[in-house]
Amino acid sequence: MALPILKRYKEDAPEKAEMNNLKQPLKQKYSMEEAAHSLGISLNLLHAILDKHVFNDGVPRPVTMEMMLSDVLLVAYWMGVEKPDLKVVTMGKR
């Protein structure tokens, strides 16, 4: 499943990327609504994911907050962790 935010970067990427040609992401900060839209999920699902992985120590989730692109990508990872078809190899116990 290609997330809309990741798909956009793949489509816009040149065939041969060089480090000196890389630019800043289109947006530096996302509102909660923009982040949910970029991930292709509802705002309620975004709140549930954040409550499960971030605001799980008794600190309430703020009513409004901004997310950086790295935060949005981390939420995308957390969405995939709960799906069995994720292509991530987990470390075995030692």
pLDDT tens sequence across 53-78: 998 888 889 888 999 989 998 999 88
Residue 72 placed within a domain: yes
Residue 41 placed within a domain: yes
- Residue 38's CB: how many other CB atoms inside 10 A? 21
Indicate the range of 30-39, 46-55, 77-86 predicted with least confidence.
77-86
The total domain count for the chain is 1
Q: Which domain holds residue 68?
A: 27-55+64-81
Residue among 9, 75, 8 at smallest CA distance from 42? 75
Q: What is the DSSP string of 40-58?
A: T--HHHHHHHHHHHTS-SS
Residue 42 placed within a domain: yes
pLDDT above 70 as % of the chain: 60
Average pLDDT over residues 13-40: 73
Residue 49 placed within a domain: yes
Residue 87 placed within a domain: no
